[in-house]
Amino acid sequence: MRKGIGVSPGVAVGSAYCIHEIFLNPETRELEPSEVLAELGRYELARDQTAADLRALKAKVSSQVGEAEASIFGVHESILYDPAFESKLRQWIVDRHQTAQSALHHLLSDYTSLFARTKDDYLRERLSDVRDVVLRLSGHLSQVLDPNSSLPTGPIILVADELLPSQVATLGERQIAGIVTQAGGSTSHAAILARSRGIPAVSGVRGILKQVTNGDLIVVDGREGHVVILPDAETETAYRKLQREFFDLKGALAENRDLPAVSADGLPVELLANINSVADAKAAKAMGASGVGLFRTEYLFLTHPNVPDEEEQLAAYREVIAESPNHRVTIRTLDLGGDKTIPYLGHNREANPFMGWRSIRLSFEHPEFFGTQIRAVLRAAAGSAGPVRLMFPMITTLEEMRRVRSMVRRAQTRLHQEGLRAGKVAIGLMLEVPAAAISIDNLLEEVDFVSIGSNDLVQYLMAADRDNPRVNHLCQPLAPPVLRVLSRVIATCNEMQKPVTLCGEMAGSPRPVVLLFGMGLRSFSMSPAFIPTIKDLLRQLTVAKAEEVLRRAMEFKTTQQVDRYMAQQIAEIAPKLKLLDTA
């Protein structure tokens, strides 16, 4: 049994499918001598296709973002045709009879080892550029080598170092029973994918790719963060029973999609969905959400082959709005940086990337690029059948909020001057920074609504990276300091009559939801798969009970005491939800 971070609840038992490095289908077949020349030809074709992509991308980014930002793709093309780079690939194909894809896999491993040994920060940062080139080349090689390549049919458990957004996009609607990753944590791309689909998942299981091979039977327990490799008969039987209970419970809960979201004493509650794509919007509707509380627009950029222009963004936003429940969508502007980067905005390796040049700070550095997104949102809102709201991430100061409001007004003015319709949108902030939480009363003067991003807020309050297994035990949503801050923010928003929603993982977890409801929160936004669970919980919870539980919980001085107390309360309030209840 291996221990990791449980990032999506539930239990799955199935056959492993390993994704090594950044390759969806790493090849190990040795070439026949007669195949070598053809393999070289396939490599050269893929190389030239990659070069054409890079040149087109350089031109597009230069026109939309700037020449300085576009220059990175010239660097990538030089890497692609670098004599040492090409020589190594050709040597492995010709001398070792490896496929081009396999040679590329080994090349990246060699470069990774080489860059890891250097003490020069500049050279170490160049590994990101090499990986970008390898990923693009690998994509073309996959098409050239085997256009029909795909994951195995039937339910599988993906085992990977980490899933990149581009890989997530290629997975489509495949039958994935569980996900295990070596890296990442609760906000990794793999974790977000798993929660949006209700797939049990565990992250942070270091070295598991060295212990598991394709076809191995493994167990994923997303509640406890456990992964069992090659379980014995007794263990397998026990977990398969839990898996059946998990599926039965999900099926029973899904039947409440048409029931109103109300408390046991009839108080209406908003249950919204966090989405990344049109597919997620459709899932939100199927799960009974009343709208979309968070549309993460960065995934449009992370999965796009180059840079989406205004018309492409407009089309994407219109499609999401059209497919969302009640056509009601809160669109968050780009939240890039940290673990989400795109080459044309720079990798900007930093000692503390989650507290560095990211999110709204990065957007301010590229006003034209940022302005294009605002224009696209305003145009999409103009034709919407439901309300569209515009939200800005990682706002820290009042000055920042005033600045974004000014940018929205300027975009509206220019659209009118160009004869284009600009919709009226409510403007809000995502509250993630402790400084913003402390000064919430001042910020409310400049916003129409607030969305609490509890994932980042919790880790910043506790000064602990939630995706670091060594310190993530400190990053707990039920920690007394976290509860105190949330209580004050919610109370202040209610007093000033500004709508407030919580969009973090707390919104989809039974224990925190009871406390948040007791604090006066009436709007929750979560992964679509969690909506039936929270609806069922709230329909068994009265306001008086929630307030009573909150009063008692706020008296405890340690996280462990709060957690233990809340586990008992959930068992009493909604006993059948125990299988889906995590801290």
pTM of the model: 0.78
pLDDT band at 146 (very low <50, low <70, confident <90, very high): very low
Q: What's the distance, Cα to Cα, between the start and end of the chain in Å?
A: 21
* Average pLDDT for 554-563: 96
User: Above 90 in pLDDT, residue 19?
Assistant: no
* Average pLDDT for 175-202: 80
d(CA 140, CA 126): 22
CA distances from 95 to 57, 99, 291, 468 (A): 34, 11, 58, 42
User: Above 90 in pLDDT, residue 556?
Assistant: yes
Report the pLDDT value the prediction gives residue 468, as an integer from 0 to 100: 74
Report the pLDDT value the prediction gives residue 288, as an integer from 0 to 100: 93
Task: State yes or no: is 304 an active-site residue.
Answer: no
Catalytic one of 105, 189, 226, 366: 189
Report the pLDDT value the prediction gives residue 462, as an integer from 0 to 100: 93
User: Above 50 in pLDDT, residue 125?
Assistant: yes
Q: Which residue has the higher pLDDT, 116 or 495?
A: 495
* Average pLDDT for 461-469: 81
Q: Which residue has the higher pLDDT, 323 or 346?
A: 323
Residue 7: closest CA among 569, 583, 571: 583
Contact 352, 306 (CB under 8 A): no
The answer to which of 147-161, 315-329, 544-558 has the lowest mean pLDDT is 147-161
SS3 content of the chain, % helix, strand, coil (to 5): 55, 15, 30
Q: Which domains does the chain have, with CATH numbers?
A: 2-23+151-251 (3.50.30.10), 33-145 (1.10.274.10), 265-580 (3.20.20.60)
d(CA 479, CA 462): 9
* Average pLDDT for 294-310: 84
Give residue for tokens 């807020």: 457
DSSP class per residue in 99-126: -HHHHHHHHHHHHHHHHHH---HHHHHH
Q: Which residue has the higher pLDDT, 99 or 420?
A: 420
* Average pLDDT for 210-237: 91
The answer to which of 69-78, 368-377, 478-487, 491-500 has the lowest mean pLDDT is 69-78
Report the pLDDT value the prediction gives residue 100, as an integer from 0 to 100: 87
pLDDT band at 583 (very low <50, low <70, confident <90, very high): low
Report the pLDDT value the prediction gives residue 170, as an integer from 0 to 100: 53
DSSP class per residue in 279-326: HHHHHHHHTT-SSEEEEETHHHHHSSSS---HHHHHHHHHHHHHHSGG
Residue 529: closest CA among 200, 108, 241: 200
Task: State yes or no: is 503 an active-site residue.
Answer: yes
Give residue for tokens 């160009």: 418
* Average pLDDT for 32-41: 88
Catalytic one of 18, 475, 493, 503: 503
User: Above 50 in pLDDT, residue 35?
Assistant: yes
In the chain, % of residues over pLDDT 70: 86
User: Above 70 in pLDDT, residue 459?
Assistant: yes
> What's the pLDDT tens digit per position in 276-295?
889 889 989 999 999 999 99
* Average pLDDT for 542-566: 96
Q: Which residue has the higher pLDDT, 26 or 536?
A: 536
* Average pLDDT for 503-527: 94
> What's the pLDDT tens digit per position in 529-541?
899 999 999 999 9
pLDDT band at 20 (very low <50, low <70, confident <90, very high): low
